[in-house]
Structure 1
Amino acid sequence: MGQLCEQCARMLKDFVAFVRRVSAGLVRAVRRCAAALCQGGCCARAAAGTGKRYRPVLQQHDKRAAQQFLQHLDSGTDTPQLDDECLKALRTLAVSENPDLQQSAAIYYLHISQQLKTPLPIDFLEPYNALLQSSDLEVQKIASLSLVNLLVEENVDKEVVVQTGLLEPILDMLESGDHTVQCNSCACVATLATSDSNREAITSAGGVLPVLVLAKSYDPRVQQNGVGAILNLTRCEKTMSVLCTEGVIPLLALLLQSPDSEVQYYSCSALSNIATRPEHHPAMLQLGNRYLLRALLSLMSSPVEKNSCQSCRCLRNLSVNVSIQEELVSLGFVAQLREMLQSPSQPVAESAITLLSALSEHSPNREAIVEEGLLKTLGQLVHHQRTNPTILGHCAATICNLSDSQSAQAVAESQCLNGLLQALISPDIMEEELLCVTACLNHLTSFELLKSHVIGKLNAEHAERLVGWAGQTENDELSFNSASIISQLEEQGEVCQVLTPHTTSILEYLLRFLRHSEGRFQQLGSVTLLNLNKDAGFSAALAESPLMEQQDSRDLLHTTMHTAHD
């Protein structure tokens, strides 16, 4: 549906569903109305008796238009007819002073909106201007609903709707006293606001304040569409700033406590968009007693999965601010994250680990995370979810951030190493996650306690993968990480057995490292050669390798080995 999010689309489609159930009678209703009107000379009087009300005289051109429209509809099919004759009749009926004729045009547009399978010709948007500004409430209701349908089904171009002048009457209807008209017009605004140019047009035309008012409506349909419109308006930095100036942040914070889960979701999503701009963080935090943070933490425990996930995303955007991280930790937020990490729902676990990864980047948070037992939880997560790239990548980054000499024992007692080593040989692991896993293992093996655990679990398949990645030339970081892991393990006798079959490949990438333009590669190559040279088998292979056959390579080797010794 273009830029319209799935939730907004579902909301709008649910709203018009009831009309779809009665669509078969729409054309018949138009026919009856048009036939009744064209039979008489005027509609000056209604039925006899009390309750008489004035109706404008049916002008001759109105009568001709009604007759032509009736003939046009009598084609024997309910498929919308969209030719020039139909457009001419609709134009006449739409501007008629007679509400019944306007209703005929509006009903036919509703029929079009439910049956049309192709884009609506642009000229057919013209009659909408009169219908949306009709003094008859029923005409406004029907016409606005048909326009919602056309927008949601993308049978009209959103930018063209604004360009043809329909935005002004749509915004006027936001201030209607009728909930149905408010609901339909707000749904139009929400859908139009999925376009960047339309967002600015809505803001320039003064559409922000009426939308904010409707977001406070007691009618749940109106409120949902109002908050949905706010959500789409926050997708643009310029309109987001206007909304914030007009006081949208306190409103959205209050709506996080709404009994309507859809309103909660739209409000949290809009706040998440606003939180991507650090300049708005002070306004988001100035609500008394850290109201917004507490409301988001409460929403994290929501039984509605998407609301729980969205609250994590909003907090993730806020957590670029270090002071906010510290506030969250002080509010006992880490324990809530642990519960989410243990959720059987992958989206919930993904949202939680993404947020935890961000928190672990700030060193003052790490002690609280480790003390809360999160390393054990991470070990279980990476062990059971190693095929999920989002979870695996963030788990590896978090474990790396949390690992130091004080937490090495906690890492060893968790399943972190097992999970990472299993992920290392997973056939489904992607390059980005592989970089995270190898970087994490490289960091962990720098601790003697953890190095011995890795050595005890390293097998031939692990060795083959690491040597292969060290030798590839497409990704320097992956090559460096893999070779660095090997260099830290090679001096152990147990490892030499699994590396021996790959001696030739190791020598090849080491020669490349020694000739590399970056000093870190040269240094790593030197250290690796020194470690491997302690093994008699490798030393013999090195003496006979191409690396030693060329004088310039031999000189380079001696120089780098001498440098490493120094």
Structure 2
Amino acid sequence: MGATCSSILPSSCCRQDEGSNREEEPLLADKERRAVNMLVELFERRSTVSFYEGEPLSALSTLAYSDIYHLQLSAATVFSEVSEMDTRPVAREALEPILYMLQSPHIDVQNGASAALGNLAVNVENKLLIMRMGGLEPLIRQMLSPNIDAQVNSVGCITNLATADENKTPIAKSGALLPLTRLARSRDLRVQRNAAGALLNMTHSAEHRQQLIGAGAVPVLVELLGLDDPELQYYATTALSNIAVDDSGRQLLWNTQPVLIDALIRLVDTSTIKVQCQTLLTLRNLASDDQFQVQIVEKGGLDSLLPLLQSAYDPLVISASACLRNLSIHPDNEKPILDSGILTCLISLITQSGNEEVQCHLISALRNLVANNNADNTSFAEAGLFDHVKEVMENPASSDLVIGEVIAALNVFVINESLWPYVLNGGFIELLIPLTRSSVPELQYNACVTLSSIAAKANEGSESLVRAWDRPDGGLQSYLAAFLAIDEGMDPMLRSIALWTVLLFLESESPDLIRLVTSHPSIIRNIEKIAAANASSDGDPRNSAYTGDSFAGPRSSRAFESDIYDQDGENTEENDDDVYTRMVNLAQDVVSLVNTLEY
């Protein structure tokens, strides 16, 4: 602020004229006079002086503890001025006089002290020390003052204190949330912003979000969405986005805030990019629930959201694609999304975007749209879906996350009646085979499951599978032989998938596939060894993974009965004993089927 000594210290103390009328000066003790004189000198070269230690701190403390109002005010003002530029970690000795002045009967002294604390509280160590020294209680008292400057400074300080995780619980339990919520409706924009910022800082854990809800913060945050101030809009959307992380938070918003979606959709069209991004992420979190998924689309959310996918600003595209991903989950939204004409754009962005988050969100959205649609999906292929997906898989720069999303999508595409031929005949088998040896467990597992889903279509299109039998990298036979080798270190789940794939090949009506499997030097032999590992099952059909009336004939709709790893969630693991039992039962099914075949 560029203050001079005369604007901070009592004017009579700054005079150098010995002839001045001393009767007008405050009656200062010698110690106080020496402190004033020292500070006058030090403040003129304050950029090179540390006021938080040594003689400068001692001089400031003398003024802070003085009974003379002007000296206290001078100390508070100096601390406030200095702390604007110097926010280093300080010791208790530096905070003690500031906290003392925070309890002064003079509001302007309190304001200077709280401003200094707020400045120092940008430093993590200072945040924690202020709380440990009991700074919160006097700040709350000052926050309750009718004085606007007192509200601005005290709430601003609490906002900074609340950014430290260690401070959040004490703040939540202190009773501060109720006045903070009230002050978020203040007519003073500075107070509103600070209070909204403090509420936002208290939304980073489920426990504190519940305490905010209990303090009545939700309707206030929703009200802030309708104001014209971008900072308030940003704080409110971010806080609501965090509240929407919890199931209970989303349910509360659904039950009590009927205007929320309308307000958020209006903000999607704002000119402030950070508000746009955060609004889309709030909608994304809300769209974790099916009722919000439908409502957002019904209220016209797509009209505002979809154009942002073509923005040149990556964070905006990420937010928009993340929101679309969740909206695409609901079957009722499939038609409005496709009717919007955005399909070609979505597919093109898979390769045009260099951002892996955008790629993951869009691939997942396309997967959801196909999964939700039982009608003819050839429009996806005609829009170039498989060309772009293949380009992503062939690109060595594609991340494991993106490849994982592609494999999960292929597993959905291959079981779709309209799209499976594009997977089977599009060269994807050759791209999946090397991934069965991936060092990334999710990629390896998903690649194996997707190959088994492709194998379920062997009866309709065995030519592609036959071509891939021994290439690339040894082909399907190499993958199956490796996973069926007698190796105690082999994951029984992966071995079960390989067994299932062999079973599907043998069930097909393809003489070439059946011949390739049964004539392989190790595949059937090792399966027989696996089947023999559990003689106690005695062929009891209740122990068999195969439930058909006979082993002959195609079953093109069958798929391996295990969840594919999805980037949206974790795979549910089976009990180890169940996995092992299923593996042995599958092996026995294969052996039984082989014994019925003529080859």
Alignment-derived partner of residue 335 in structure 1: 303
The answer for the alignment partner of 1:563 in structure 2 is: 593
From the superposition, tell whether residues 218 and 384 of structure 1 become closer, same or farther in structure 2 (CA, over 3 Å). Answer: same
Matched, 1:360 2:328: yes
Aligned-residue offset at 1:396: 2.0
SS of alignment partner, residue 284 of structure 1: helix
1:401 correspondence with 2:368:
yes
Q: Of 93, 115, 118, which residue of structure 2 is paired with 1:123?
A: 93
Structure 2 counterpart SS, 1:502 = coil
Distance apart, 1:256 and its partner CA: 0.3
Please report how far the alpha carbon of residue 273 of structure 1 lies from its aligned counterpart in structure 2 after TM superposition. Answer: 1.6
* 1:247-282 deviation line (CA, Å, top 9, x unaligned): 222211111011110110001111112222332345
Partner of 2:158: 189
**AA in 1 matched with 2:477:** L
User: Judging changes above 3 Å, is the alpha-carbon distance between structure 1 residues 75 and 420 closer, same or farther for their aligned structure 2 residues?
Assistant: closer
The match for 1:13 is none
Q: Residues 119, 31 of structure 1: CA spacing in aligned structure 2 closer, same or farther, 3 A cutoff? A: farther
Shift of 1:121: 1.9
Q: Describe the shift of the 1:86–1:179 C-alpha distance in structure 2 as closer, same or farther (beyond 3 A).
A: same
Aligned residue for 1:104? Answer: 74
- Is the CA contact (8 Å cut-off) linking 1:439 and 1:481 kept in structure 2? no
- Is this contact kept in 2: 1:383–1:418, CA < 8 A? no
Cα distance per residue 1:333-354 (max 9 Å; x no partner):
2333322333333222222222
Identify which range, 549-558 or 97-106, moves more after superposition.
549-558
Measured after TM superposition, the shift of residue 170 of structure 1 is 1.8
CA contact (8 A) 1:548 1:554 kept: no
Structure 2: tracts of 5 or more residues without a match = 486-490, 533-586
Q: For residues 287 and 549 of structure 1, do their structure 2 counterparts lie closer, same or farther at Cα, with a shift above 3 Å needed?
A: closer
Q: Is the 8 A contact 2:294 2:327 kept in 1?
A: no
Show the counterpart of 1:348: 316
Indicate conservation of the 8 Å contact 2:364/2:409, yes or no: yes
Alignment of 1:85-96 (within 5 A): 85-96=55-66
How far residue 420 of structure 1 moved from its aligned partner, in angstroms, is 1.3
Cα distance in 1 between the residues matched to 2:87 and 2:210: 38
Question: Residue in 2 aligned with 1:470?
Answer: 436
Residues 204, 493 of structure 1: alpha-carbon distance in 2 compared, 3 angstrom cutoff: closer
The alpha-carbon distance between structure 1 residues 115 and 148, as it changes in their structure 2 partners (threshold 3 A), is same
Q: Which residue of 2 aligns with 1:527?
A: 504
Name the SS for the 2:50 alignment partner.
coil
Distance in 2 of aligned mates of 1:554 and 1:250: 63
Match of 1:517 among 449, 469, 492: 492
- Give the Cα–Cα distance (whole angstroms) in 2 for the partners of residues 302 and 77 of structure 1: 42
- Of stretches 139-148 and 344-353 in structure 1, the one that deviates more from structure 2 is 139-148
Give the corresponding residue for 1:229.
198
Q: Does 1:311 align with 2:300?
A: no
Partner of 2:294: 326
1:465-497 CA distances to partner (integer Å, 9 max, x unpaired)? 422102346524233145337646874546755
Cα drift, residue 44 of structure 1: 6.6
Q: CA deviation at 1:133?
A: 2.9
CA contact (8 A) 1:513 1:521 kept: yes
Distance 1:245 1:105 in 2: 40
The 3 A distance-change label for structure 1 pair 551 and 323 is closer
Distance 1:93 1:555, change over 3 A: closer
TM superposition shift of 1:522: 1.0
1:147-192 CA distance string (max 9 Å, x none): 222222x174212101112212222222344433322221111110
| Structure 1 residues 49-68: aligned runs within 5 Å | 57-67=27-37
- CA drift of 1:393 comes to 1.7
Cα 1:374–1:524 change in 2 (3 A) is farther
In structure 2, what is the Cα distance between the partners aligned to 1:38 and 1:208?
Answer: 52
Moved more, 542-551 or 297-306: 542-551
Give, in angstroms, the shift of residue 401 of structure 1: 1.8
Structure 1's 65 and 447: CA in aligned 2 closer, same or farther, altered over 3 A? closer
Question: Which 10-residue stretch deviates more, 353-362 or 499-508?
Answer: 499-508
How many percent identity over aligned positions?
A: 26
**Using the alignment, how far apart are the partners of 2:273 and 2:517 within structure 1?**
58
Secondary structure in 2 matching 1:85: helix
Find the aligned partners of 2:9 and 2:481 in 1 and give their Cα distance. 84
User: Which residue identity does 1:517 align to in structure 2?
Assistant: P
The alpha-carbon distance between structure 1 residues 505 and 67, as it changes in their structure 2 partners (threshold 3 A), is same
Question: Which one of 237, 244, 248 corresponds to residue 275 of structure 1?
Answer: 244
Partner residue of 1:145 out of 88, 98, 115: 115
Q: Which of residues 248, 254, 257 in structure 1 aligns to 2:223?
A: 254
- Which of the numbers 367, 388, 403 marks the counterpart of 2:355? 388
What corresponds to 2:175 in structure 1?
Answer: 206
Correspondence for 2:269: 301
1:532–1:397 Cα change, 3 Å = farther
Letter in 2 for 1:438: I
Deviates more, 1:31-40 or 1:395-404: 31-40
2:78 alignment partner AA = Y
d(CA) in 2 for partners of 1:324 and 1:544? 54
Relative distance call for 1:162 and 1:399 in structure 2 (3 A) is: same
Which residues of 2 match residues 486-565 of structure 1 at below 5 A? 487=455, 491-493=461-463, 500-502=470-472, 504-514=474-484, 517-518=492-493, 519-528=496-505, 534-535=511-512, 543=519, 545-547=521-523, 560=590, 563=593
Change (3 A) 1:43 1:500: farther
Quickly say closer, same or farther: Cα 1:143–1:473, change in 2 above 3 A: closer
TM-score, normalized by length of structure 1? Answer: 0.81
Q: Residues 32-47 of structure 1: matches in 2 within 5 Å? A: 34-36=13-15, 45=24
* Distance in 1 (alpha carbons) for counterparts of 2:589 and 2:188: 80
2:420 pairs with one of 437, 451, 458: 451
Q: Secondary structure of 2:259's match?
A: helix
2:393 aligns to what?
Answer: 424
In 1, the alpha carbon distance for the partners of 2:181 and 2:531 equals 75
CA offset at residue 124 of structure 1? 0.7
Q: Deviations over 1:389-431 (max 9, x none)?
A: 2122222222222214414122122232222111111222222
- Higher alpha-carbon deviation: 193-202 or 29-38: 29-38
Q: Which amino acid aligns with 1:191?
A: N
Instruction: Find the aligned partners of 2:328 and 2:216 in 1 and give their Cα distance.
Output: 33
Tell me the SS of whatever aligns to 1:241. Answer: helix
Higher relative helix content: 1
Q: Residue 478 of structure 1 aligns to which amino acid in structure 2?
A: N
Alpha-carbon shift at residue 292 of structure 1 (Å): 1.1
**Mapped partners of 2:377, 2:187: distance in 1:** 56
Match of 1:113 among 45, 68, 83: 83
Deviates more, 1:74-83 or 1:229-238: 74-83
1:211–1:230 contact (8 Å) kept in structure 2: yes
Q: Displacement of 1:448 after TM fit? A: 5.1
Per the alignment, do residues 349 and 83 of structure 1 end up closer, same or farther by CA in structure 2, a change over 3 Å counting? Answer: closer
Number of residues of Structure 1 aligned to a counterpart in Structure 2: 529
